[in-house]
Structure 1
C-alpha cells in the first residue's frame, strides 16, 4: 500500500526581507537505504507558483518519473565541496577561503539553481568582483572550483566559469603621484631603528626585531620558535614551523609557508642577544610562576607563557616608528630588509632563496629588482662624482 503524506506550502522571509514560498514533499522509500525520501523546493514568488510546482512534482512521483535531486543550488554544491576541501589544506588556508565564500561568493551565487547557471551570469559577477575587489581573480577561481566539483559529481555537464573573459584592471597613473615607499630599510635605517628600540624598556621586542632583521624569517616562524630550535654551539636556527590563525580565531602551529624546513646560520651578535634573552626570560617568567627550562619553551610568549598574538609585534613597531619619527615599515618589511642587505653584501640569489625559504626564485628576484634600482642610483652618483674631479 502506497504511503501518502500531506505537503504544506509555507511562506518564509529571505535575508533581504523578500517574502517567498516553499514546500517539502514526500517522494517514497529509497531502495538502497530503506529510508523515507523527501525533497524541498523554495524560492517561489507567489503561493500559486508554488502550488503549480507541487502539483507537477506529485505527478512525476506518481508516474515513477521523479529522481530526487540531492542538490539544487550553488550553495548546496558548496556545502558538499567545502567538506572535501577542508581535508586538503591547512586550517589557516581553510579559514581564509571560508571568509571569501561567506563575504563574496555565496551572497552573489548561493541561491542560483546550479543547472541554470550560464556564462552570462558568471561573467556579470566576475565583472562586479573586479570593480570592487583587488584580488577578484582569487574569488573567481574559488567560485569556479565549486562548479568544477558539480561537474565531477554529474549535477551539470560544463563549467560556465571556464568561458568567462577576465577583466583587465589597468593601473591608473596620475601626474604628481608619489611612488609608494619601499617596504625595507637600508643598513643605516635598520641600525637607527634597532638603536631606538634598544633604548626602550622592552627587551623582548628588541630581540624579536633583531632576529627578524638578521635571520629573514617570517613573523609566524619567529613566534613559533622554541629554544630547542636554536643551537648556540653551531650558531644555527632550525625553522620548521609557524603559528597561524585557525578556526574560532585560535592560534595553532603549522608547517612553514612552503612546507619545507630549513636550517640557517646566524651571526654572533644576534646569537649573543638571544642567549641574553633566554636568561632574562627565565628570570622574568619565574616571577610569573612559569618554568621556561622546558624543552618546548617558546622563545617569544605572552604573559601567560602562551603564543604571542601576531598583532603584538605590529603594535611594538608602530610605537617606535611614531615615537622616534622613523621611516615607515611593516613587520614583514624586516624580512625584505634582510633579503636586500644580503644582496648588497654580495650573496648570490640561490643562497638568498634558500636562506629565506622561498619556494619560487621569482619571489627572491622581485626583491632583488628593488636592490638593483638602488644600485643604479649609486652608479650614476659615482659617475657624477668622478666627472667633477
Structure 2
C-alpha cells in the first residue's frame, strides 16, 4: 500500500513516491524516485491542462481538428473511398484551415461550397466531409454548433452521368462472349456487379442448381496488390440471378471452389487488370468502353424487363433508392430521345416522298 507522508505523497514499498489528485473529475497519478520530481510532473501536467483548456476555450484551429478527424476516421473508410475523402478534407483545410473552429460562420461555409467548380457528386461529397468534421468537433467539445448544417449544394451543378453503350458497342460486347479476355465483361453485363465485385467472385459463389450468384465481397487494389474486402456498402451483399447466357459460358470453365472466376488462384493485380481490359477493348474495336457502362446496361435490362425500382435497387446493390431512380430516369430519357430521332427520320422520309409525289404529278 505504501506509507502516507504529510505533504500528500505516498512512499511506496519499491521506494518511489506517488501523488494522487483528482483533476477535471478524473483520478490522476504522478510518481517518481524523488518528491521534487513528483511535484515537477504534477505542475507540468497542470500547465499543460490549462493550456489545453485555454485552447479549447479560444477554439482549436480548423486545420488541427480536420487532421484529428482524419486520423480517427481513415481506418473506417473503405480503401477505394479514402482518396475521395482525403481530397475533400484537404480542400476544406485550404479554405478554412487558418480559422478557429468556433469562429467559422455559415456564410463562410456557404461561400466555400458555392465556389466549388466540380460535378455535383464531388461537391456533395465535399459538403458531407465538412459536416462530418464539424460534427466531430461538437462531440469532442471543440465547438457547440455546425455552421454548415443548412448549407445546400448549388442547384446549377450538372450530374455526372455515364452514357449508355451505343447499340454497336453493346452488340460487340454480346458477340464477344467466349473470346479471349471477354469473361469479365460478360460477368458484369449479366450480373450487374461492380468491377471489384466481379473480380472477387469465386466458383463457390455460383449456385448452378438454383441459378443464383452470391455477391459478398470485392477486390480493391492497394497500389498494385489486390485485397479482398467487404462490398462497397452493406447493401452490396446480395444474391443475383444466374442468367442463361452467363450460365452457358461458366459451366465449361468451372474450377476449384476457392479459385477466382477471373484470375484463378488469386485475383488480378491492378496492372494485370489494366492489360486484360486493354486487350479486350482492342479486340472489340468499337471505341473506349468503361466497365461501369456495362454495369449500366444491366440496369437497362432490368428497366426494359419491367423490374420495379425497389427490386432493381436490391439487385444492383444500391444503398439509396434515389440512385436507382436516377439511373432509371436516365434510361427513360435516352429512350425518349431515341424515339424522337426515329420519329423525325420517319417524318423526313414522308416529307421527301410527299415532295417527290407533288413534283411528279404537277
TM-score, with normalisation over the residues of structure 2?
A: 0.68
- Distance, in Å, in 1 between the alignment partners of 2:170 and 2:232 is 26
Partner of 1:244, secondary structure, is strand
**How far is 1:219 from its partner?**
1.0
Q: CA RMSD in A?
A: 4.0
- Distance, in Å, in 2 between the alignment partners of 1:346 and 1:363 is 17
The match for 2:268 among 308, 327, 339 is 308
**How far is 1:357 from its partner?**
2.5
What are the within-5 Å matches in structure 2 for residues 242-281 of structure 1?
242-245=218-221, 251-260=226-235, 261-278=237-254
**How far is 1:332 from its partner?**
0.8
1:191 corresponds in structure 2 to 171
The question of 1:335 aligning with 2:295 is answered yes
- Distance, in Å, in 2 between the alignment partners of 1:369 and 1:258 is 23
Aligned residues: 307
Partner of 1:161, secondary structure, is coil
The match for 1:234 among 190, 200, 210 is 210
Please say if residues 203 and 258 of structure 2, whose CA atoms lie closer than 8 Å, have aligned partners that are also in contact.
Answer: yes
What are the within-5 Å matches in structure 2 for residues 336-351 of structure 1?
336-351=296-311
Partner of 1:115, secondary structure, is coil
**Using a 3 Å threshold, how does the CA distance of structure 1 residues 361 and 162 change in structure 2: closer, same or farther?**
closer
- Distance, in Å, in 2 between the alignment partners of 1:113 and 1:190 is 54
- Distance, in Å, in 2 between the alignment partners of 1:120 and 1:366 is 31
- Distance, in Å, in 2 between the alignment partners of 1:308 and 1:110 is 40
**Using a 3 Å threshold, how does the CA distance of structure 1 residues 167 and 39 change in structure 2: closer, same or farther?**
farther
TM-score, with normalisation over the residues of structure 1?
A: 0.64
- Distance, in Å, in 2 between the alignment partners of 1:124 and 1:148 is 19
- Distance, in Å, in 2 between the alignment partners of 1:133 and 1:373 is 20
What are the within-5 Å matches in structure 2 for residues 98-113 of structure 1?
98-102=86-90, 104-113=91-100
Please say if residues 226 and 297 of structure 1, whose CA atoms lie closer than 8 Å, have aligned partners that are also in contact.
Answer: yes
Please say if residues 197 and 320 of structure 1, whose CA atoms lie closer than 8 Å, have aligned partners that are also in contact.
Answer: no
1:7 corresponds in structure 2 to none
**Using a 3 Å threshold, how does the CA distance of structure 1 residues 341 and 75 change in structure 2: closer, same or farther?**
same
Please say if residues 223 and 300 of structure 1, whose CA atoms lie closer than 8 Å, have aligned partners that are also in contact.
Answer: yes
What are the within-5 Å matches in structure 2 for residues 121-160 of structure 1?
121-128=108-115, 130-131=116-117, 135-160=122-147
**How far is 1:312 from its partner?**
4.8
Partner of 2:209, secondary structure, is coil
The match for 1:225 among 177, 189, 201 is 201
- Distance, in Å, in 1 between the alignment partners of 2:104 and 2:130 is 12
- Distance, in Å, in 2 between the alignment partners of 1:75 and 1:332 is 36
1:6 corresponds in structure 2 to none
Structure 1: runs of 5 or more not aligned: 1-28, 41-60, 172-179, 280-292
**How far is 1:212 from its partner?**
1.2
**How far is 1:167 from its partner?**
4.2
- Distance, in Å, in 1 between the alignment partners of 2:339 and 2:263 is 42
Please say if residues 183 and 262 of structure 2, whose CA atoms lie closer than 8 Å, have aligned partners that are also in contact.
Answer: no
When Rg is computed on C-alpha atoms for both structures, the one with the higher figure is 2
1:214 corresponds in structure 2 to 190
**How far is 1:233 from its partner?**
2.6
**How far is 1:217 from its partner?**
1.4
1:21 corresponds in structure 2 to none
**Using a 3 Å threshold, how does the CA distance of structure 1 residues 118 and 360 change in structure 2: closer, same or farther?**
closer
The match for 1:356 among 305, 316, 333 is 316
Question: C-alpha deviations, 1:194-216, integer Å up to 9, x for none?
Answer: 435755xx3xx212111111111
**Using a 3 Å threshold, how does the CA distance of structure 1 residues 164 and 194 change in structure 2: closer, same or farther?**
closer
